[in-house]
Structure 1
Amino acid sequence: MKRMLGVVAAMALTGAGAVQAETVVYCGQLVQVEPLKMLERQTIRLEGNRILAVESGYQAPALDDDIVDLKSATCMPGLMDMHVHLAHQFSAHVYLEDFKLNAVDYGIRATINAEKTLMAGFTQVRELADQSHGSSIAVRNAINKGLVPGPRVIASGRSIATTGGHADGTNGRKRELMFDLGPVGGVINGPYEARHAVRQRYKNGADMIKITATGGVLSAAKSGQNPQFMADELEGVIATARDYGMPVAAHAHGTEGMYRAVVAGVDSIEHGTYMDEKIMKLMKKQGTYMVPTLLAGKWVEDKAQTKGFFPEMVRTKAATIGPLMMDTFNRAYEYGVPIAFGTDTGVSAHGDNGKEFALMVQGGMKPLEAVRSATWHGAKLTRTDDELGKLAAGYLADIVAVQEDPRDDITTLERVAFVMKDGVVYKNEVVSD
């Protein structure tokens, strides 16, 4: 057995990121996501950062073609995580960080975590809720310019909440520090402030909008379920976001707030803990995606058992909501709700994103469908399915590979061995036969 450690092209960080004019990638297996099936012995031909063709069998290369030998591996499109927080990493001390860290600290952390995410096989992410002074937008721009390695980042900027809501950053403070953050700071009351908040995020360079439609688990506020937006406020957010071509994601655990958000027309429900059949029916009809974040649910459930890790108000919510998320996922999947892969990483550790796959399979989803949720469905949700999400002629060359067959061992997706993004190889640890 020979371990392949060579890199086809230098990373963009070095200024030498372009691959040769043509590259031939041999895949022992290839996950075709649309329609969904596993193909054997496939050749992917690349020119620059685009796929020229996907062909059956191991086709002979031209004399000057570069060859990437993944005959011992299973290839698939670059993975996508629809819910990450690059600048954050939850710990027992996280509630003090706003008083200790500066914007540059968050930016450095986001840069480090972006590279970890890419090395885990995730070539595109939605950064939902950057509460740290625009660090995700800055890191997105740096990645796009080739200054640092990382996935494609679709950034929401700061979440939009209502006063005392899940993303009101002054929750839990003493009265003198309970500032009214206003629309610029992500706290709105009424439809006019809702419109202001969306337009401010557009001005700041955000790609999309995130709202906190209900209470949450980790905020220092009593309820994890109550609805936190009125119908006119939701309409103000969504109608304005549509004017600017910005999708809207809604954090939601509780039933009523979730229902209001789906009726109003959000693109995705994040978490969805208390989702009922009425909501599932509406989501299926409208094509509203569920982003389940099972890894975050499992993580907070486990940490709730550690005395003193969470404030008591948070610990109670974590112990209650965490265990429910798996059951909801199973029911939504069986009902036919569209599901896109998402982890809420930044709660759990960056680079561990792939652990979500095993939880999805545990929750009843077939392994290849879990892969499709993190590829084709991620592309559909982010409106990038004309260029990303599958391996096909004309698509961007985002390719990852694992050593085992995910149908036999879904945990292989926690050990991604090969990562190519935009035609550049960032990781190659495939063991050849």
Structure 2
Amino acid sequence: MDSVQWLRCGTLIDGSGEPPCTDVAVGIRDGRISAVIPWDNVPEAERNAATDLSGSTVTPGFIDAHVHLLFTCDVDHEATRARFESSSTAELSIVGSRNAQEALLGGVTTVRDCGDTRYVVRGLRDAVRAGTLVGPRILTAGAPLTTTGGHLHWCGNAADSPEEIRKAVRTICTEDVDLVKIMSSGGAMTRGSNVLLPQFEVDELRIAVTEAHRFGRPVASHSLNAESIRRSVAAGVDTLEHCYWRDETGRYGDTADLIALLAPTSTSVVVTMAGIARALLPDREPGSPIEQQAAKAASPTGALATDYRWAREVWEAGITLVLASDAGVRFTPFRRFDETLRCGIEGFQVTPAQAVAMATRNAAKALGIDGEVGLVASGYIADLVVLDGTDASERLGEVRSVYRDGRLIVADSRLIVPELIDPARP
């Protein structure tokens, strides 16, 4: 058993949502957190070998619960789709590998991918697990289940009848995906699909959920309108992605009705703060005119705090709210997860520690990996992010270093690529 590696943290945000602590020691042994104690309690003999982070803030590794590793962050959806559809499997693997490493540089140590094709992301997941690719822990949904001509049908997993749905879910589960993603509504990235109308009947969604759960896989439902949300909750999905409570005319409904629907269930809500939300940050450098125009067009009120008041109300009602990025879609690079966290602070009107909890503890719970990651606590995997500065009362500093499984993997904003070990070498 290895000796304890101590990190002296100037400020610690532990992922629970509670206020930060100061001058805390985090012990790491065999890739897991062995202790979280006041620095003064560290034995004198072990202090000299400690890593001094007394000028920094330490958080759990961020968990981005909604990303698209194979997308290219273009300036419009059609460009992203065209590049996706025209790319070979090898080209998609290169894009996915680069995006995975960009996420890691942004402090994200776990991602849940929601838009695979040809099982490319599954290959990336397995390469990270094997140690041949440096990247975050990856959960993959395979190609999302949709309808012919429906949202993301170009990923290659359309089904239009109960039997087709049943077979499609069985097929991707047999191919060792980590979850099932279903497009319960249309989406902006697929011209011709309708964001304001559902794509599946509730009985069809129930078939998908029943089959996925039989294989032990959770179900994430892309839901951009109220009726698709109602049907998804009735079917028993595990997470609602985006969760826009609006009718077929685009008018937003009373959040109290959404809360009443969700309160008796265990369904979590994943709010994605993508580039068009990041562009609304009041203290952010203005983006391109195209980005600013897109952000204004997509915003109901022109301000994050009013656009996302509904999400704060959902969170205050005790429903698990997860903060994610939708990285890979237009204007949403993987490395800037810090901007998504800032969107959560501004949009939900919460503290930095509360926003971090939504992207760590809450995300882990929603993804079914709580108890392993998401907190800086004894027994948890030692996924940690080191941020500039110690004042985390109002905002968070830039990402400087990242630990994954207890190993320093990003240092001074640079990726550390370990030497490949030949298992046959003595």
Q: TM-score range by the shorter chain?
A: 0.7 to 0.9
% identical aligned pairs: 27
Distance 1:166 1:99, change over 3 A: closer
Aligned positions, number: 390
- Whole-angstrom distance in 2 between the partners of 1:29 and 1:406: 8
CA shift, 1:419, in A, is 0.5
Distance 1:333 1:223, change over 3 A: same
Say whether 1:194 aligns with 2:165. Answer: yes
Q: Which amino acid aligns with 2:30?
A: G
Distance 1:374 1:296, change over 3 A: same
Alignment partner, residue 408 of structure 2: 425
Pick from 369, 376, 395 the counterpart of residue 354 of structure 2: 369
Tell me if the contact between 2:268 and 2:366 (Cα under 8 Å) persists in the aligned partners: yes
Aligned Cα RMSD in Å? 2.9
- Whole-angstrom distance in 2 between the partners of 1:120 and 1:258: 31
Alignment partner, residue 224 of structure 2: 253
CA shift, 1:422, in A, is 0.2
Say whether 1:277 aligns with 2:288. Answer: no
Tell me if the contact between 1:304 and 1:319 (Cα under 8 Å) persists in the aligned partners: no
Say whether 1:97 aligns with 2:79. Answer: no
Query: What are the within-5 Å matches in structure 2 for residues 29-428 of structure 1?
Result: 29-34=11-16, 36-58=18-40, 59-60=42-43, 62=45, 66-91=49-74, 92=76, 93-130=79-116, 132-169=117-154, 185-274=156-245, 276-298=255-277, 306=290, 319=298, 326-347=308-329, 348-363=332-347, 364-405=349-390, 407-412=392-397, 415-428=398-411
Report the 3-state secondary structure (helix = DSSP H, G, I; strand = E; otherwise coil) of the residue aligned with 2:211.
Answer: helix
Tell me if the contact between 1:127 and 1:153 (Cα under 8 Å) persists in the aligned partners: yes
Report the 3-state secondary structure (helix = DSSP H, G, I; strand = E; otherwise coil) of the residue aligned with 1:216.
Answer: coil
Q: How far does the alpha carbon of each residue in 1:15-53 deviate from its partner, in whole angstroms, 9 at most, with x for none?
A: xxxx96431111111113337231121111111201111
Distance 1:397 1:97, change over 3 A: same
- Whole-angstrom distance in 2 between the partners of 1:321 and 1:300: 14
Which ranges in structure 1 are unaligned for 5 or more consecutive residues? 1-18, 171-184
Q: Which amino acid aligns with 2:345?
A: V
TM-score (norm 1): 0.82
Q: How far does the alpha carbon of each residue in 1:279-321 deviate from its partner, in whole angstroms, 9 at most, with x for none?
A: 22222331321111122442699999639x99xxxx8996477
Q: Which amino acid aligns with 2:22?
A: E
Alignment partner, residue 182 of structure 1: none
Q: Which amino acid aligns with 2:4?
A: E
Which ranges in structure 2 are unaligned for 5 or more consecutive residues? 247-254, 281-285, 414-426
Distance 1:325 1:246, change over 3 A: farther
Report the 3-state secondary structure (helix = DSSP H, G, I; strand = E; otherwise coil) of the residue aligned with 2:334.
Answer: coil
CA shift, 1:80, in A, is 0.5
Distance 1:95 1:76, change over 3 A: closer
- Whole-angstrom distance in 2 between the partners of 1:406 and 1:283: 36
Report the 3-state secondary structure (helix = DSSP H, G, I; strand = E; otherwise coil) of the residue aligned with 1:161.
Answer: coil
Query: What are the within-5 Å matches in structure 2 for residues 11-30 of structure 1?
Result: 21-30=3-12
Tell me if the contact between 1:333 and 1:365 (Cα under 8 Å) persists in the aligned partners: no
Q: Which amino acid aligns with 1:190?
A: S
Q: Which amino acid aligns with 2:240?
A: I
Q: How far does the alpha carbon of each residue in 1:266-286 deviate from its partner, in whole angstroms, 9 at most, with x for none?
A: 111111122643222222331
- Whole-angstrom distance in 2 between the partners of 1:204 and 1:401: 36
CA shift, 1:405, in A, is 4.3
CA shift, 1:115, in A, is 0.9
CA shift, 1:165, in A, is 1.6
CA shift, 1:334, in A, is 4.2
Q: Which amino acid aligns with 2:58?
A: C
Q: Which amino acid aligns with 1:102?
A: S
